[in-house]
């Protein structure tokens, strides 16, 4: 099990004029100009109920840039900014810092507060700063190379985030309409009897037309090797997962129904 920083949607506004201070200066600059409000005057710092994304409350935000002019004329900005505890600011980079809140709030409220801080001009960007555990990381040795399952920011489908919500259902049957199937040890336990619908004998490569055996007999031609594409797509969809073999399947519980429709060439 590994842990890593989570990030959620952050709120950003376009660059504005005036003097922008690094948030690394929060601990020095903000206390002298930020009003401290009574709890009943503060906004967004009251938990609204429900559970957080990872079951924990959020007590810090990651923020970027303070605008000195807006902080000099706090007004409504100060009401929002009062939820921050600038003395607790920890510099992350030259522009970013993690800043404590006056008390822990839910993830939803932390995201709302982040948006309000940006809209009020207190910071240029903000998002909740918290921890979550990666509990859905499979042990399949080839999973690391499955780029299509990578996080969305890395141009994948974000499978690990999805698996945190569900790993699939045995009630689902996925028909793989492709070149057929092979008895690979990473998929054989997930198969239900399929069908071979290649009718033309000159492309069937199994000596007959339609039949109840969707085994992929290969489609090599014109010097190109067989693709075994049906096995590939079946594995991506529903390979046995967390079995220390091969790859991980997007759906870890469904059944695969192989349908052979592609023959030679």
Q: Which is nearer to Ca ion, 238 or 239 (CB)?
A: 239
Per CB under 5 A, does 258 bind Ca ion?
Answer: no
Per CB under 5 A, does 263 bind Ca ion?
Answer: no
CA 202 vs. chain centroid, Å, equals: 46
Task: Give the C-alpha separation, 65 to 61, whole Å.
Answer: 13
Q: Are 46 and 105 in contact (CB under 8 A)?
A: yes
Provide, rounded to whole angstroms, the least separation between the CB of residue 209 and Ca ion.
6
CA distances from 7 to 51, 131, 164, 191 (A): 17, 9, 15, 38
Phi-psi label, residue 111: left if phi above 0, alpha if psi -120 to 50, beta otherwise? alpha
Position with the least CB separation from Ca ion:
196
Q: Which is nearer to Ca ion, 87 or 208 (CB)?
A: 208
Q: Which of residues 205-224 bind Ca ion (CB under 5 A)?
A: 206, 208, 211, 213
Draw the binding track, 137-176, toward Ca ion (x: CB under 5 A; -: no contact).
---x------------------------------------
Task: Give the C-alpha separation, 160 to 166, whole Å.
Answer: 10
Stretch binding Ca ion (CB under 5 A), from 35-43, 66-74, 123-131, 245-253: 245-253
Provide, rounded to whole angstroms, the least separation between the CB of residue 152 and Ca ion.
23
Q: Are 194 and 257 in contact (CB under 8 A)?
A: yes
Provide, rounded to whole angstroms, the least separation between the CB of residue 151 and Ca ion.
20
CA distances from 33 to 30, 37, 75, 80, 82 (A): 5, 13, 11, 14, 11
Provide, rounded to whole angstroms, the least separation between the CB of residue 190 and Ca ion.
10
Stretch binding Ca ion (CB under 5 A), from 37-45, 61-69, 81-89, 184-192: 184-192
Per CB under 5 A, does 253 bind Ca ion?
Answer: no
Stretch binding Ca ion (CB under 5 A), from 11-19, 27-35, 105-113, 181-189: 181-189
User: Residues near 64 by Cβ (< 8 Å), separated by ≥ 6?
Assistant: 23, 95, 96, 123, 124, 125, 126
Chain residues that interact with Ca ion, rule: CB under 5 A:
140, 186, 196, 204, 206, 208, 211, 213, 239-240, 243, 245-246
């Amino acid at each position: 099990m590994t842990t890593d920083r989570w990030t959620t949607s952050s709120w950003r506004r376009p660059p504005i004029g005036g003097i922008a201070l690094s948030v690394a200066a929060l601990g020095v600059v903000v206390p002298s100009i930020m009003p401290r409000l009574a709890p009943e005057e503060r906004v967004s710092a009251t938990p609204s109920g429900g559970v957080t994304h990872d079951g924990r409350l959020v007590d810090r935000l990651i923020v970027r840039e303070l605008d000195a002019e807006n902080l000099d004329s706090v007004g409504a900005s100060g009401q929002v900014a009062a939820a921050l505890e600038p003395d607790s600011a920890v510099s992350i980079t030259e522009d970013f810092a993690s800043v404590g809140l006056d008390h822990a709030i839910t993830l939803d409220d932390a995201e709302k507060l982040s948006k309000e801080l940006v809209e009020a001009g207190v910071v240029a960007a903000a998002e909740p700063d918290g921890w979550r555990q990666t509990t859905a990381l499979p042990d399949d040795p080839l999973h690391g190379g499955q780029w299509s399952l990578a996080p969305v920011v890395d141009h994948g489908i974000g499978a690990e985030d999805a698996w945190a919500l569900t790993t699939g259902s045995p009630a689902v049957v996925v028909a793989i309409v492709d070149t057929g199937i092979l008895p690979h040890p990473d998929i054989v336990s997930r198969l239900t009897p399929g069908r071979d619908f290649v009718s033309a004998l000159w492309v069937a490569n199994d000596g007959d037309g339609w039949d109840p055996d969707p085994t992929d007999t290969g489609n090599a031609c014109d010097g190109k090797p067989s693709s075994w594409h049906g096995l590939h797509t079946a594995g991506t969809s529903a390979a046995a997962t967390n079995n220390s073999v091969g790859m991980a399947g997007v759906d870890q519980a469904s059944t695969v129904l192989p349908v052979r429709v592609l023959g030679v060439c």
